[in-house]
Structure 1
């Protein structure tokens, strides 16, 4: 066994007398353990929230989304769509027309995001992670049906059991000179609401899903589309398919995966996670002041021991190593305990969901957690760096003890 480590361990385990220094060392260890545990738990919660949001968005959005770089819409034809459908890795291609429209139901009206989709939209496990009420159907030719978000249904006071009340959708026309008839200033279509979905507040409050031909007729889009949504075939990499489509479509179109479609939100979550990590690391650094004080007082108490070691041939470097390793033992013991406690708390939360979100209408009942090995690694590195910084000054003081004065 390394002699400096042996002496440091004896100082840490010493039971000769329970003085203030020993108590302070134990408090330092507990402080490191609590700080480490907090870091692991909070970072795992942020990972869980990010994973949950990705999953919720993925149940509404496609794997890939093709949109024009310039303008709001683009023309499509059979050959253009066939070239994308026949591209390697493309399983399902969904045509999309999306725009704002005025929706009226009974005496209530609201501006909503109208999303017209082709018939294969519902055949892709859409709304898999959401809550569904009513029928998930877009109707048939001549009898279109709509699916609206739960928030939108609240705004309109929609009654799913009322089969006779239909929903009216209005969209403004391009103004024509000389016309004073108000009805000539907008298009109007009627559709039967069939079901309600609940995924995420942004979607729930805004979206009305309708058949593609209904949206094209109301908005007068003809063969124009605002986007194409693509489901990637099993066994294919989303990144590889995205790269192939970018080469196929050229610079006039952008191809985004699910993360890129919500880049700003995911970036916000990651920034919050980073700032929380820095904040808790700072708190852990403050807690490490106990290590600094305990080692400083230990260096004062052990001056005679240090003088004896120096007189027996010990070097200043050897003395510094003793106190650095003493701080490392305190921090390592606390860090291991904190990592184990953090892992245990996250495992219990993931398995049993003890801490509830407190929201009855939420998609999940408890706080989601997801443990990542990188969080454990960065937490451990933070503890190591903080420990070295906290232990260096007391170790330096101890190495400067005079042998002639304390023997």
Structure 2
């Protein structure tokens, strides 16, 4: 029975180690996908669609740019529009930005197709995410296709008799198609901010992107804007997604901890069998003056030895599985993913967490089972 308890603890420990490693690998993979899609910091308005910056706000941002020379503040003019190309249509967001945005998001490193750089297309251009291009039926930017951008123009003069005048339309050239991150690719189209501002009539940016993750800079911005704006880093911009992933990890961890608890109850059976086999020896020890606490210590050490052995074997087994997956690759993500095999991460934090859970449960069960065994021997 001691072998059964040891194997159960080893498997529970190994499973916990592997699962923590797999969740960490998946989280890192998702975070890497957002590295070029999301800026290091994003300043969004707390209320309303625009971040209305006063002269005082601009002066503050300029002073921060002087204090942190590596920081770049990029205003983004975002507008939801309808794109049409032939019979294909797609609703997406056009981002009016400068060349700095393109450099910081490294869009040129994610190009699928690009128009001939020698062509002079002016400012009326648009760079599509792969998802947007798919919905529009655009697969090649050379020669650059033309798409029409539609934007509702609802005002006091709009009536049922002049609905045609209630829509702005603009033809633009598609200069490139890029693939950065699935959600980004299907919801974003990048354009020079000059024509986006003129087309939409926007006087204020939708939000500011800050290309610097300096913690001191973030604190300074938060103190200045207060509750007027929301400041978020890359992960906070995808807070819902990462909260779901961490919740799933906690649920799975709780299930595995319960498995370890069940496996630890094998210690009770193991110690009971040992006590019954050594019953005469125990009575001899009692007759020689051995106290109950000394006997409990003997059985507790036996139980703890089973726990430590199971923990060590399980940790070794889990580490072996992780290393095989990391350097050889056994479990595949399937076709269509950005990497072939499921990502895993070795971290001392996972070992520490696994060790804490397994040894805490095992020690507690050993202490409880020791008292039960001594009581059963007395009653026998």
Provide the TM-score with structure 2 as the length reference. 0.90
| 1:133 matched to 2:133 | no
Give distance in 1, aligned partners of 2:270 and 2:239: 47
Within the candidate set 362, 366, 371, 1:391 is matched to: 366
Give distance in 1, aligned partners of 2:40 and 2:115: 21
- What does residue 367 of structure 1 align with? 342
Superposed, 1:345-384 pairs within 5 Å as 345-359=321-335, 361-384=336-359
Within the candidate set 141, 148, 155, 2:128 is matched to: 148
- What does residue 191 of structure 1 align with? 172
Residue 114 of structure 2 contacts residue 142 of structure 2 at CA under 8 Å; is this kept in 1? Answer: no
Give distance in 2, aligned partners of 1:78 and 1:365: 51
- What does residue 219 of structure 1 align with? 200
- What does residue 21 of structure 1 align with? none
- What does residue 301 of structure 2 align with? 325
Q: Decide whether aligned partners of structure 1 residues 67 and 401 sit closer, same or farther in structure 2, where only a CA change above 3 A counts.
A: closer
| 1:98 matched to 2:78 | yes
Within the candidate set 55, 60, 65, 2:37 is matched to: 60
- What does residue 278 of structure 1 align with? 254
Superposed, 1:47-126 pairs within 5 Å as 47-76=24-53, 80-81=57-58, 83-87=60-64, 88-89=67-68, 91-126=71-106
2:34 alignment partner, SS class: helix
> Deviation of residue 274 (structure 1)?
0.7
- What does residue 148 of structure 2 align with? 168
Q: What's the CA shift string for 1:309-347, capped at 9, x where partnerless?
A: 222221111111111111111111111111122222223
Q: Decide whether aligned partners of structure 1 residues 319 and 378 sit closer, same or farther in structure 2, where only a CA change above 3 A counts.
A: same
Q: What's the CA shift string for 1:26-70, capped at 9, x where partnerless?
A: 122111111111111111111111122222112111111111112
Give distance in 2, aligned partners of 1:137 and 1:216: 26
Give distance in 2, aligned partners of 1:259 and 1:393: 43
Residue 275 of structure 2 contacts residue 377 of structure 2 at CA under 8 Å; is this kept in 1? Answer: no
Q: Decide whether aligned partners of structure 1 residues 399 and 292 sit closer, same or farther in structure 2, where only a CA change above 3 A counts.
A: closer
Give distance in 1, aligned partners of 2:18 and 2:289: 47
Residue 77 of structure 2 contacts residue 196 of structure 2 at CA under 8 Å; is this kept in 1? Answer: yes
- What does residue 187 of structure 2 align with? 206
Gaps spanning 5+ residues in structure 2: where?
A: none
Give distance in 2, aligned partners of 1:310 and 1:140: 99
Give distance in 2, aligned partners of 1:392 and 1:251: 53
Give distance in 2, aligned partners of 1:249 and 1:342: 48
| 1:30 matched to 2:7 | yes
Residue 311 of structure 2 contacts residue 355 of structure 2 at CA under 8 Å; is this kept in 1? Answer: yes
1:335 alignment partner, SS class: helix
| 1:244 matched to 2:244 | no
> Deviation of residue 258 (structure 1)?
1.5
Provide the TM-score with structure 1 as the length reference. 0.84
> Deviation of residue 225 (structure 1)?
0.6
Q: Decide whether aligned partners of structure 1 residues 136 and 378 sit closer, same or farther in structure 2, where only a CA change above 3 A counts.
A: farther
Give distance in 1, aligned partners of 2:141 and 2:25: 37
Gaps spanning 5+ residues in structure 1: where?
A: 1-23
- What does residue 157 of structure 2 align with? 177
Residue 306 of structure 1 contacts residue 401 of structure 1 at CA under 8 Å; is this kept in 2? Answer: no
Q: Decide whether aligned partners of structure 1 residues 86 and 55 sit closer, same or farther in structure 2, where only a CA change above 3 A counts.
A: farther
1:58 alignment partner, SS class: coil
2:71 alignment partner, SS class: strand
> Deviation of residue 76 (structure 1)?
4.2
Q: Decide whether aligned partners of structure 1 residues 365 and 144 sit closer, same or farther in structure 2, where only a CA change above 3 A counts.
A: farther
Aligned residues: 375
